[in-house]
Chain A
Amino acid sequence: MNPVNYLYLAALLFTIGATGVLIRRNAIVVFMCIELMLNACNLAFVAFSRMHGNLDGQIIAFFTMVVAAAEVVVGLAIIVSLFRSRHSASVDDASLMKL
């Protein structure tokens, strides 16, 4: 199968993820959308690795997974404590930093 199709799929997934980040309020969903974008990037890396015939892209994909796992640990903990203190998981409610 033509590896370029994987890139189209990666672009599609990234766009879906980005759109989800922008339009959804629920912090869990936003978080999942970010994961979707990360995985779209991973897919693109692996596809490029295959296209260019070296392993750099695959190694970076592993790195991304490690970073994403660590991010999930920290991010979910933040979301849980946010929900506990404010009884809401909406990202728009967490706007205390504005002027």
Chain B
Amino acid sequence: MTNAENLIALLIAAPLLGAAVLLTGGRRLDAVGHWVGTILAAASFVFGAILFADLLGKNAEHRTLIQHLWTWIPVEGFQADVTFRLDQLSMTFVLLITGVGSLIHLYSIGYMEHDERRRRFFGYLNLFLAAMLLLVLADNYLLLYVGWEGVGLASYLLIGFWQHKPSAATAAKKAFLVNRVGDMGLSIAIMLMFTTFGTFAFGPVLGSHEKPGLVDGASEATLTGIALMLLLAACGKSAQVPLQSWLGDAMEGPTPVSALIHAATMVTAGVYLIVRSANIFNLAPDAQLVVTVVGAVTLLFGAIVGCAKDDIKKALAGSTMSQIGYMVLAAGLGPIGYVFAIMHLVTHGFFKAGLFLGAGSVMHGMNDEVDMRKYGGLRKYMPITFVTFGLGYLAIIGFPGLSGFFSKDKIIEAAFAKGGTEGWILGACALLGAAITAFYMTRVMLMTFFGEERWKNQPTRSPEAPSAEPAAAHHGEHAEPHPHESPKSMTIPMIVLAFGSVFAGGFFSIGDRFLHWLEPVTGHSEGDSPLSAATVTGATMVCLLIGVAIAWAQYGRRPVPVVAPRGSLLTRAARRDLLQDDFNHVVLVRGGEHLTRSLVYVDHTLVDGVVNGTAASVGGLSGRMRKLQNGFARSYAVSMFGGAAILVAATLLMRAV
């Protein structure tokens, strides 16, 4: 038992060591750096697997391992410990992070082969793994915050990895800044927690789902405040409305980064935070309602954006946003939805990582072209990519029997089971989202792998394409692309992830395995759904077919124009991320400018006015006074006599009075 606990720190230590070695080791490690990074990531996965086996060997109630390393900040009344907590929830995340993470490390070996800064890239990837593991393993909110910030840092470094491209540098800064807004929410939540409860450790504050901790005695207003601040944090990290604008631009990073950070792991941190803080949200129904609204709005928002993008990675980014919207929606439903939020998170981790790696593979074979209008008919040239991407596609749209079907269906059922009008509205949003998901994913699939070969007879390197992807140099500039299958180090991870996409959902759902596994941590209750499970499944299938049919009518039956048509108002808005950036620009940037300008104006007129006015009046007065100093002895004598006369007169006057 003690042995197993000691392994927890090693989970984090392995990738952290990798990051330290790779980032400080210098050029000597260039030749082996990628293998060091990959092996340490895999080592972390092995430790995770050992711990998982250990947990499985125990009874459900003994499956929480605590490892106390040292006391970080020992101050009277303020105890911050470096303590790790491994329970079923963090175990799930550990396996997802290290598993998908290791596969993506492996994939990156091939993908980044021609990049001279590959060693540094693997260092950053390891840093990211370490930070993410710290986030999910922390036993108190302050330590979680450390991991939270570490993830933000790693994300910044990786999005801006090709920093010589101004667009990548800007995207990295944007992601960092938007994340700061969310981080502020988390720090305020921690402060509120400390002032309310006197501690921010999970155990005392949250308790277990049967027996809530200190949260039980707090007022609902305080809890709602804490919960809303936590939601703000989750919105920042998980790219939920209104802090979602960074995710699309984050696609400037290398594709493995998009797969690892912006699909499978980092963006799920917000969902983790909400589910981990379940006991706070359970006692704050108003905050829960806000969570569900954020989730529902984001799932439609992301889906609509995904429909309009021609850039394959940005279409997938919209899809990520939308799928995480599903998870947040489920997490907001309370005990009905927590388990399904995490289940969808895991299955989504598989199929979205697979889809992104597939997209990377397509780009790799197409001279780094990202515009889907210049793809077409690639299934013949990239059979493995086609099959793995296709399985990911079937999983995400919820094709019966594949992963997404089980997890998404459960979320839609849970949304209806919320009951009342809210339940109907949320359920309808979720169903509509399923239809749109089917539409845009079918669109991606058809435009990429089917139809005419639109890349023939034209150079694919449009000016706005990521001309600086260093791998491109290998293929030659401005040549007609020669689509080819990617090397084994890239296809193997895709195949493994495709297996996950196909079987994970079924494996989790049959016999409610996942439910029984996670229930002791999050709790679970069956809502009373107004619709039977079969009805919901049927409705989901109908939505799915409608979405696929519309996409086929538009992109499968007719040839796809190489130049994007102007499109309707909605299309044009969706291409611009539903005007999110314009909104931010007008309201926040302009607003900020107005605020600073008016502050400068106040400073110049009021503050400077007082200072300068005082100086000017003193100066003016003394300018007049100095005229008295005229150098004529007789005029001094006059003032002396005058002064004496006034003194005498005043004395006499005072006497008289």
On A, residues with C-beta under 8 Å from B are 18, 21-23, 25, 30, 91-92, 94-99
Contacts and interface: CB of A to CB of B under 8 A. Distances in A.
Given A91-B634, A92-B634, A18 B641 contact: yes
A96 B634 CA distance: 14
Interface stretch (B113-121, B219-227, B625-633): B625-633
Contact of A99 (B626, B633, B634): B626
Interface residues of B, number: 10
B637 A22 contact: yes
B638 interface: yes
Contacts of B626: 99
A21 B637 contact: yes
Interface SS of chain A: helix, strand, loop or mixed?
loop
27 contacts: A18-B641, A21-B634, A22-B634, A22-B637, A22-B638, A23-B634, A25-B634, A91-B632, A91-B633, A92-B632, A92-B633, A92-B634, A94-B633, A95-B630, A95-B631, A95-B632, A96-B631, A97-B629, A97-B631, A98-B629, A98-B630, A98-B631, A98-B632, A99-B626, A99-B629, A99-B630, A99-B631
Contacts of A96: 631
B241 to A, nearest CB: 72
Contact of B641 (A22, A92, A97): A22
Contacts of A97: 629, 631
B630 to A, nearest CB: 5
Contacts of A95: 630-633
Contacts of B637: 21-22
A8 B138 CA distance: 104
A57 B631 CA distance: 36
> Which 3 pairs, one residue from A and one from B, show the smallest C-beta to C-beta distance?
A98-B631, A95-B631, A91-B633
Contacts of A92: 632-634
Nearest to A19: B641
A25 B634 CA distance: 8
A95 B633 CA distance: 8
Contacts of B631: 95-99
Interface string B607-646: 0000000000000000000100111111001100100000
Interface of B: 626, 629-634, 637-638, 641
A98 B629 CA distance: 6
Contacts of A23: 634
B398 to A, nearest CB: 93
A94 B631 CA distance: 8
Contacts of A18: 641
A24 to B, nearest CB: 8
A30 B637 CA distance: 11
A92 B626 CA distance: 18
Nearest to B633: A91
B535 to A, nearest CB: 100
A95 B630 CA distance: 8
A75 B626 CA distance: 27
Nearest to A27: B633
B623 to A, nearest CB: 10
Contacts of A25: 634
Nearest to B627: A99
A23 B630 CA distance: 17
A87 to B, nearest CB: 18
Contacts of A98: 629-632
Given A22-B634, A22-B641, A96-B631, 12 more contacts: A21-B637, A22-B637, A23-B634, A30-B633, A92-B632, A92-B634, A95-B630, A95-B631, A95-B633, A97-B629, A97-B631, A98-B629
A96 to B, nearest CB: 7
Contacts of B641: 18, 22
B351 to A, nearest CB: 89
B487 to A, nearest CB: 90
A80 B630 CA distance: 23
Contacts of A21: 634, 637
Contacts of A91: 632-634
A19 B256 CA distance: 103
A18 B637 CA distance: 9
A21 B640 CA distance: 12
A98 B635 CA distance: 12
A10 to B, nearest CB: 15
Contacts of B633: 30, 91-92, 94-95
Contacts of A22: 634, 637-638, 641
Nearest to A34: B637
A32 to B, nearest CB: 15
